[in-house]
């Protein structure tokens, strides 16, 4: 039987000793590693343009399973807390960007260029008292080597959507490197309203690299029943930070609705500015970009399901209007 990429991704961590197997689950502490599968797409709102698709598979270790090198590295970082509650994260993702009309073989120069981004990511996560620090290094490739063209054409063929004709104009191959840091805060004693919990999670962050340069800040409000120990659902960068891991508190079940906002001051966006070292298509980007999101999440002891509706302000001057897309994430605790 042919095994899919998700199966191989999980199997890698089992064999490496980072993911505890089922036979050891009962003997492990209550904190567990978390595998999240995340899908973002504008098809939820009947559009097919700009940031049109993103997929991500990410695994975050439990603190007791974190490799020594990751814990030592976190303790060396001056802005990370000196705590034993350190986790390592490993991720594989692909993003896709297209102009407004994918049926055109030669899109207008004022349209966003076709582009794809295929990357792997290694991260450190440290939690102390009321805040969470997350540092992630992404290494990948932009251009035809990202396989975004093949992915979109395959999916459009399966769902009988318009065949994309303009991928010959996409950005050229370029290695991608970006370092992303985010700090989030949460109230360890949420407010109580009508027997439900309310908390606000502010955050700040920054990214530097040839893919993105930006500084961001924002907050998320969560309102629900028996809020788990988490910072909201994951999102694909750039976006509100959230967290891959979650831990039950008093019970086995939790639900909440949430709303969040994030503002970014953009210094560089390769997918709008074009290739770094050679000539390519590009558009004039806007320096300020904002995300507004709403959603809901249901958490069980071993699984969390979340849906997020995202509105993103215009990212470049000639963009037709505000974008919106949906994000579906499913997380499993091992």
Instruction: Using the predicted structure, report yes or no on whether residue 250 has a pLDDT greater than 90.
Output: no
Please check the confidence at residue 4 and state whether its pLDDT lies above 50. Answer: no
Average pLDDT over residues 41-55: 90
List pLDDT tens digits, range 187-239.
877 788 888 989 999 999 999 999 999 999 999 999 998 887 789 999 999 99
Secondary structure in 3-state letters for the chain: CCCCHHHHHHHHHHHHCCCCCHHHHHHCCCCCCEEEEEEEEHHHHCCCCEEEEEEEEEEECCHHHCCHHHHHHHHHCCCCCCCCCEEEEEEEEEEEEECCCCCCCCCCCCCCCCEEEEEEEEEEEEEECCEEEEEEEEEEEECHHHCHHHHHHHHHHHHCCCCCCCHHHCCCCEEEEEEEEEEEECCCCCEEECCEEEEEEEEEEEEEECCEEEEEEEEEEEEEECCCECCCCCCCCCCCCCCCCCECCCCCEEEEEEEEEEEEEEEEEHHHHCCCCCCCCCCCECCEEEEEEEEEEEEECCEEEEEEEEEECCCECCCCCCEEEEEEEEEEEC
Q: Which residue has the higher pLDDT, 176 or 195?
A: 176
Domains of the chain: 5-333 (2.40.128.140)
Q: What's the average model confidence in pLDDT over 119-126?
A: 96
- Using a pLDDT cut of 70, give the percent of the chain over it: 90
Provide the pLDDT for residue 92: 98
Average pLDDT value for residue range 113-118: 98
Lowest mean pLDDT among 18-32, 254-268, 320-334: 18-32
Segment 91-116 shows an average pLDDT of 96
Predicted confidence (pLDDT) at residue 5 exceeds the cutoff of 60: no
Please give the average per-residue pLDDT across 233-256, as a whole number: 86
The predicted structure's pLDDT at residue 251? 67
Mean pLDDT score of the chain = 88
pLDDT of residue 249: 67
> What pLDDT sits at residue 173?
97
pLDDT at 300: 84
- pLDDT band, very low/low/confident/very high, at 6 (cuts 50, 70, 90): very low
């Amino acid at each position: 039987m042919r095994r899919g990429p998700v199966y191989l991704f999980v199997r890698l961590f089992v064999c490496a000793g980072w993911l505890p197997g089922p036979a050891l689950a009962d003997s492990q502490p209550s904190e567990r590693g978390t595998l999240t599968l995340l899908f973002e797409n504008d098809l939820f709102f009947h559009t097919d343009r700009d940031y049109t698709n993103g997929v991500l598979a990410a695994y975050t270790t439990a603190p007791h399973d974190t490799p020594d090198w990751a814990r030592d590295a976190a303790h060396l970082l001056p802005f990370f807390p000196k705590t034993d509650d350190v986790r390592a994260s490993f991720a594989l993702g692909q993003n896709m960007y297209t102009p407004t009309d994918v049926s055109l073989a030669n899109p207008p120069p004022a349209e966003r260029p076709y582009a794809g981004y295929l990357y792997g990511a290694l991260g450190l996560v440290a939690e102390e008292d009321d805040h969470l620090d997350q540092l992630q290094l992404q290494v990948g490739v932009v251009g035809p080597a990202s396989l975004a063209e093949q992915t979109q054409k395959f999916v459009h063929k399966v769902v009988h959507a318009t065949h994309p004709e303009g991928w010959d104009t996409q950005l050229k191959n370029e290695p991608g490197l970006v370092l992303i840091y985010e700090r989030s805060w949460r109230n360890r004693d949420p407010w109580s309203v009508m027997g439900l919990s309310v908390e606000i999670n502010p955050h700040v962050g920054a990214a530097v690299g040839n893919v993105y340069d930006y500084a961001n800040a924002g907050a998320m409000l969560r309102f629900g029943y028996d809020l788990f120990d988490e910072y909201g659902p994951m999102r694909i960068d750039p976006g509100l930070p959230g967290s891959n891991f979650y831990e039950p508190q008093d019970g086995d079940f939790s639900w909440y609705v949430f709303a969040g906002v994030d503002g970014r001051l953009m210094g560089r966006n390769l997918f709008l500015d074009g290739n770094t070292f050679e000539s390519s298509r590009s558009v004039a980007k806007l320096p300020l970009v904002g995300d507004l999101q709403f959603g809901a999440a249901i958490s069980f002891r071993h699984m969390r399901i979340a849906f997020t509706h995202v509105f993103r302000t215009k990212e470049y001057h000639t963009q037709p209007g505000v974008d919106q897309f949906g994000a579906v994430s499913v997380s499993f605790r091992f």
